[in-house]
Amino acid sequence: MQTVVGRFKEKNEIAEDLGEEDASNLREKTATAEADCEALQVCWTAIWSRIQQIEFDTACSKENLLTKIRAQFSAKVILVNHEKRIDVDTSCANLAIKYNMLYMSVYQLIRSEVKAGTELGRALEQSKRHK
């Protein structure tokens, strides 16, 4: 409740103690939120084994919370299927830089293995099916 009151004061730029009306509104909203949470848990009891509950500590700064949320929900691996005649390498590389991801062009990796004549490259070349 302390965190809620502190955030309410900060949002509304209140320096002194809360008025009785504001305090009762906050208590009421907190009780409603807790009741809603319990009601949702009761609804999910049948499928609780298939649900992963994620909790975030919201007592930190907004930037830290956003970082934690992005780390939890951002994509770990994205596969892009494209033909070599469509130039998407630059776009994918720029998106990888912007969103702090790793972009590897499998097409370029395979081509470099084949050109270098490595064991993997020779195996890939032998398994190639012509269109």
Each residue's pLDDT tens digit, 6-54: 777 777 777 777 778 878 888 888 889 899 989 988 888 888 888 888 8
Each residue's pLDDT tens digit, 92-131: 888 888 887 888 878 788 889 899 999 998 998 888 888 7
How far apart (Å, rounded) are the C-alpha atoms in residues 102 and 2? 41
pLDDT at 1: 67
Q: What are the residue boundaries of the structural domains of the chain, listed by start? A: 2-58, 75-131
Mean pLDDT of the 49-76 span: 84
3-state secondary structure 69-130: HHHHHCCCCCCCCCCCCCCCHHHHHHHHHHCCCCCCCHHHHHHHHHHHCCHHHHHHHHCCCC
CA-wise closest residue to 57 among 47, 49, 48, 67 = 67
The answer to whether residue 60 scores a pLDDT higher than 90 is no
Contacts 24+ apart (CB under 8 A), 42-45: none
**Alpha-carbon distance values, 92 to 13, 80, 84, 104, 120 (Å):** 44, 9, 14, 9, 25
